[in-house]
A and B are shown apart, each in its own frame.
Chain A
Amino acid sequence: MDTSIWAKMKTQPLLSVRDLSKFYGGRIGCADVNFDLFPGEVLGIVGESGSGKSTLLSCLAGHLAPDRGEVIFATTEGPRDTVLMAEAARRRLARTDWAYVHQNPRDGLRMGVSAGGNVGERLMAVGARHYGQIREAAVDWLGRVEIAADRVDDRPNAFSGGMQQRLQIARNLVTGPRLVFMDEPTGGLDVSVQARLLDLLRGLVREMGLSAIIVTHDLAVVRLLADRLMVMKGGYVVEQGLTDQVLDDPQHEYTQLLVSSVLQV
């Protein structure tokens, strides 16, 4: 059993976040955020609109510079604070070790490039050069997200919303990242497509030992996908813990409201 990906969970955190804060002028984006994420863990972030979820995710992924705090990532050369890292080094991590799945697939895809090209492009960005191998990997990944091989040369414009979202996931995972950031990955999808996507993500986490941080409004989604849950309000984390414990036995008044204000999930 020790050869399984779970054995790694006992080791060092993949990501350590310390006192992270981001302000927009006088307004709080997110403040005093602290957590550790271990390899193979899925962390869900929930909270009302404007509570700072996207801001936090952007700071973690290096898209926004925080005003305070540390984001320590376990690079292959050891733990490094990505906030202090040179821009070029951070970009390299974003290509090789991280993936970012946007809520709107249009923000994460190149709409003028074929589906196969969207996936292959990412491989080329990390140094793949052999055309045949790149195409093979692209077709393999499109298959994993259930996009048929005969659609490889179609542009994303010709795909449905759910297919675009699956294509975005394939594009992001083809390089074998260790950490995936997702901002509302199943928002705007119909329920059956959502369910397939959830199952796909769970499989990938299990097979690749992927870690993920998922922002969502949907408590049913986090219950099925996230090991741990963080609840945000007004830029602050008001509660965090084991997902089913936070949802079934919420300790903070705001979480109690959040959980009771939706249909039982």
Chain B
Amino acid sequence: MAVSPGECLGLVGASGSGKSTLMRMIWGNYLAASGSIMVGDVDVAKAAPREIIALRRGTLGYVSQFLRVVPRVPTVDVVAEPLLTLGVPVAEARGRAMALLAQLNIPERLWSLSPTTFSGGEQQRVNIARGFVHPYPALLLDEPTASLDAVNREVVLSLIEGAKARGAAIIGIFHDEQARARLCDRLVDVTQFTPKAVQ
């Protein structure tokens, strides 16, 4: 399969068919036993760790289903970190993080606290802010709207539409059928890739 700039491809298939697995392979988190996964000119299936690290830093964004952070780090710094890693000055990075947190309706009084004690929906929005704070040319989204209320779901959908409009190539897993219909240009059923012994 292939995804072009500005295109959103949805992965579908029954629970356990391998959607998240495929996404994690593209992210370099699960090792590909064979084949190739080209992101730009890097083959993730064969790349050295530091090539994958570089890819994740500037090119490939990933919003996983659950947030994983260093305890005690304030939310605003959690969101700003990807920018700091790219060499963006601290004030600018925090400014962009705060704008995004505000857009995602995270109350300002929470910004200076660690997200580890936040509600599920709040954590998910922090995770989304982290994934959208830098304009990655390619994005992987695993259930980005799963535990959000209608208002915040709408904010996230428009963020994703914005990313498409600026030319990001997106692969997403959406159980939410309306979200899928609104965002996805194409669907790929991963069941066709599921090993027969597993099916």
Contact = CB atoms under 8 A, between A and B. Distances in A.
Interface of A: 1, 3-6, 9-10, 38, 41, 191-192, 195-196, 198-199, 202, 206, 223-224, 227-228, 241-242, 244-245, 248-249, 251
B87 A1 contact: yes
Contact of B70 (A199, A206, A244, A245): A199
Given A1-B87, A4-B86, A249-B30, A192 B71 contact: yes
B49 A6 contact: no
Contacts of B84: 206
Contacts, number: 62
Contacts of B103: none
Given A227-B49, A227-B50, A242-B28, A196 B72 contact: yes
Contacts of A241: 31, 49
Nearest to B87: A4
Would you call the interface of chain A mostly helix, strand, loop, or mixed? helix
B29 A245 contact: yes
Interface residues of B, number: 21
A224 B28 CA distance: 17
B58 interface: yes
A199 B84 CA distance: 13
19 contacts: A1-B58, A1-B86, A1-B87, A5-B87, A9-B54, A38-B50, A196-B72, A199-B70, A206-B85, A223-B68, A227-B49, A227-B50, A227-B53, A228-B49, A228-B50, A245-B49, A248-B29, A249-B24, A249-B29
A206 B81 CA distance: 10
A191 B114 CA distance: 14
B52 interface: yes
A245 B58 CA distance: 19
B24 A248 contact: yes
Nearest to B71: A195
A41 B49 CA distance: 10
A148 to B, nearest CB: 19
A245 B53 CA distance: 12
Nearest to A194: B71
B73 interface: yes
A11 to B, nearest CB: 11
B57 interface: yes
